[in-house]
Structure 1
């Protein structure tokens, strides 16, 4: 995720990091070459004339803009829902930490409470690795006791296994008399909230936008951009490459941005910064315990990029 101060309007024009322009340059160069061919053929250099009326391009361009807008809205909706789910995860984690610190009676030792919060802090890391399909052992090994670590690593759905342990902790404290029925119910509500977060993230990760829909828009964008120079050359002549590349950049960039944020749990520049969010949630629970924040596991590539 790119997070940086608001830029001056001129510096915004020259912004490079975080934009999709670097990956579009080869495609824009191809459109430029096609535009040069269109201008050359129109001037009879190649002894070939391919002149198209701009009217069909106006109609197709309007329809294409509507479809691209719809796809961008659908992709951003997935991105924003994912962000809200991780915001809910922060709220539920803070509530569970507060309950672990205030609801139990004196029968619960400080070490047991700290263990609960420590394992709760490992939950967002386990969820992040599940969503990105990466190995969580290194992150979890420093946060979970060895028996629980092996139990979690042996499970297919590791965040759910951590939730199960948290529920078992509440059940054990209830049997010991440290928690009454109302306190156990309060814990259960927030644990259900964690389950809702996991289910919502899994729904987004396992249900991409329909492939046929994405292919249709992709083909239409590139066919439109490749044919556009032949529709413009008769009216704007040698300026055709400039306007063709600019229009191509607009449509291709919209499609590329939608493609990036469609999968919000990835590691591209414009995806959610799950590493930073996981660390922030864990530090928020540790702060309620009065413990210092943990150092980040790896330096960021630059001060404006969060993975």
Structure 2
């Protein structure tokens, strides 16, 4: 994800890192070259003049803009909901750790639940990214709990079960009063709700037909556009086609990138940084530094 203050307006015109341009450059080049060929041939295909005007392109362009607006709005809503859910993980984890340290009669046992919460955070990150954190888990869990979590189909949910088992043991040992246990459960329910919300976003993309319709319409529109502009603007046709194609292709690519906010694209959520932030804030409560390395910061890029 790009994390930086807004740069100078002139720099914004030429920045590539984090923009969509590198991703759509091949398609944009092909469309531009096709437009140059059409202009050089004066719109003729096999000695047949393709005569079009701008009227159908105005109507189709308006419809296409509406489709792209819907797609991007939906994608950004998914992105923002995912960021909100991770804020909920941060808030509920801190609340659980704070209660464990202050509202139990045996505060020393709170370290274990804090380590469970750290493991949950990293497991959530890896579950959403379809990766396995086997080595990382051993920094927070013993061998038995590590095997138990890694053998689970839903590791993050299993980590929450470890937290609940810790709470049950403290309750039976009368180290936690029943009203306090109910407060713990509310926080754990928040974590479970956030987990389910993240799984819903990751496992249920925008219906594929929307992507197909937009993709086909964008490319058909861009490849037919030179024939509609040639008679009106002549040799400037490739320039205008390139600009219009950049607009439509960039919006389509951005919507596809934001659709899955847990991916590895530059504009997706910085899950590594978010999980490290949660881990650091939890371990700080027991006077320990983070057990994982801080994600690299390269030219204001946080991954």
Fold conserved between structures, TM > 0.5: yes
- CA RMSD in angstroms comes to 1.5
Cα distance in 2 for partners of 1:254, 1:80 equals 17
Do the aligned residues in 2 keep the contact of 1:41 with 1:48 (CA within 8 Å)? no
Quote the offset at 1:52 in angstroms.
0.6
Q: Residue 120 of structure 2 corresponds to which residue in structure 1?
A: 123
Deviations 1:49-99 (A, max 9, x none): 222111000010011001100100000000000000000000001000100
Equivalent residue for 2:263, pick from 260, 263, 266: 266
Query: Residue in 2 aligned with 1:82?
Result: 82
CA offsets, 1:212-245, max 9 Å, x none?
1110110000000110011001100000000000
Aligned to 1:210: 207
Corresponding residue of 1:288: 285
Runs of 4 or more, structure 1, over 4 Å off, are 43-48
Q: How many residues align?
A: 303
Q: Distance in 1 between matches of 2:81 and 2:74?
A: 11
2:165 corresponds to:
168
> What residue is the counterpart of 1:5 in the other structure?
5
* CA–CA separation in structure 2 for the residues paired with 1:208 and 1:109: 43
Q: 1:196 aligned to 193, 198, 223, which one? A: 193
The 8 Å contact of residues 120 and 166 in structure 1, kept in 2 or not, is answered as yes
CA distance in 2: counterparts of 1:43 and 1:19, whole angstroms: 33
Match of residue 17 from structure 2: 17
Show structure 1 runs of 5+ residues with no match. none
Number of the residue aligned with 1:66: 66
TM-score, length basis structure 2: 0.96
CA deviation map 1:185-205 (0-9, x unaligned): 000000001100110001111
Q: What is the aligned partner in structure 2 of residue 135 from structure 1?
A: 132
The reply on whether 1:57 has 2:54 as its aligned counterpart is no
Question: For each residue in 1:259-290, what CA deviation from the matched residue of structure 2 results, as whole angstroms up to 9, or x when unmatched?
Answer: 00100100111111001100001111112223
CA contact (8 A) 1:41 1:50 kept: no
**How far apart, CA to CA, are the structure 1 residues paired with 2:101 and 2:43?**
80
Q: Which runs of 5+ in 2 are unaligned?
A: none
